[in-house]
Amino acid sequence: MKSTIIVSAVQQPCDKDRQSNLDFSIAQIYEAAANKADLVVLPELHLGPYFCQNEDYQHYQLAQPIPGPTTEILAKVAKHAGVVIVSTIFEKRAPGLYHNTAVVFDKDGSIAGKYRKMHIPDDPGFYEKYYFTPGDIGFKPIQTSIGKLGVLICWDQWFPEGARLMALAGAELLIYPTAIGWDRNDSKEEQQRQLDAWVTIQRSHAVANGIPVIACNRVGFEQAPDSDSGIEFWGNSFMAGPQGEIIMQANAAETKLLTCTLDSARSEHVRQIWPYLRDRRIDEYAGLTQRFID
Catalytic residue among 148, 154, 172, 256: 154
Residues ≥6 apart with Cβ < 8 Å to 257: 8, 9, 10, 11, 28, 31, 32
Judged by DSSP in three states, 282 sits in: helix
Residue 14 is among the residues annotated as catalytic for this protein: no
Backbone φ, ψ for residue 56 (5° rounding): -145, 115
Q: Is-catalytic flag, 154?
A: yes
DSSP state for residue 51 in the 8-state scheme: G
In the annotation, is 260 catalytic?
no
- The two counts, helices (H) then strands (E), for the chain are 5, 17
SS3 of residue 3 by DSSP: coil
From the candidates 92, 107, 114, 117, give the one annotated as an active-site residue.
Answer: 117
Instruction: Calculate the alpha carbon distances from 182 to 43, 126, 128, 269 in Å.
Output: 16, 11, 17, 38
Which residues are designated catalytic? 44, 117, 154
